[in-house]
Amino acid sequence: MRHDSDPSRAVLSRTPAVLRALLDGLGPQWTHANDGPDRFSPFDVVGHLIHGERTDWLPRTRWIRERGAREPFPPFDRFAQAHESRGKTLGQLLDEFEGLRGASLGELAALKLTEQDLDAPGMHPTLGAVTLRQLLATWVVHDLNHVAQIARAMAFQYKDEVGPWRAFLPILPRE
């Protein structure tokens, strides 16, 4: 399926509510646990999504529109949430993400991007040549990837409790 701005915004607009429904009010045994070493917990994921709202999707959209592929956009710190989320509650992070996402989608809609705009080239610092369309499609898949990551981290907490049913649950790692 080719990226289309309206359906993409429809998915992106739902992510804050999905995360709130899945995580709000749960204890740290669910929200701060991960599915292995060097993996994100649900808390980490929400912080990571906040950092992306501030430094990735719309800033890179503006960068492509202003600079094209003349120079790569700044690298993204995939682990910035480790210090940015320190001292905050998950409820605070969910509120912050919801506000930032709403502002991002408002700004995106105001751009009234055309097909020509979406095909504008940019330069990723690691991947090289990209288009604005690819960036915006990646934003949608990035959200979905992290929703799946949260579900996987949560399911992992019962990996031993499910007993032989583990064979039928592909969300859990095989023994």
What per-residue confidence (pLDDT) applies to 160? 95
Q: Is 42 a member of any domain?
A: yes
What per-residue confidence (pLDDT) applies to 55? 95
Residue 113: pLDDT above 90? yes
Q: Is 173 a member of any domain?
A: no
- What are the φ and ψ backbone dihedral angles of 133, each rounded to 5 degrees? -60, -45
- What are the φ and ψ backbone dihedral angles of 118, each rounded to 5 degrees? -65, -25
Q: Is 174 a member of any domain?
A: no
Contacts (Cβ under 8 Å, ≥6 apart) of 90: 23, 24, 31, 42, 43, 46
**pTM, 2 dp:** 0.94
Instruction: Determine the average pLDDT of the residues in 79-108.
Output: 95
Q: Which domain holds residue 94?
A: 5-168
Instruction: Determine the average pLDDT of the residues in 94-108.
Output: 97
Average model confidence (pLDDT) for the chain?
95
Q: Is 130 a member of any domain?
A: yes
Q: Is 175 a member of any domain?
A: no
What per-residue confidence (pLDDT) applies to 31? 97
pLDDT confidence band for 175 (50 / 70 / 90) = low
Q: Which own/partner contact pairs does 34-40 have at CB distance under 8 Å and 24+ positions apart?
A: 34/153, 34/156, 35/152, 35/153, 35/155, 35/156, 35/173, 36/156, 39/153, 40/146, 40/149, 40/153
Q: Is 64 a member of any domain?
A: yes
* CATH number where 92 lies: 1.20.120.450
Please give the tally of structural domains in the chain. Answer: 1
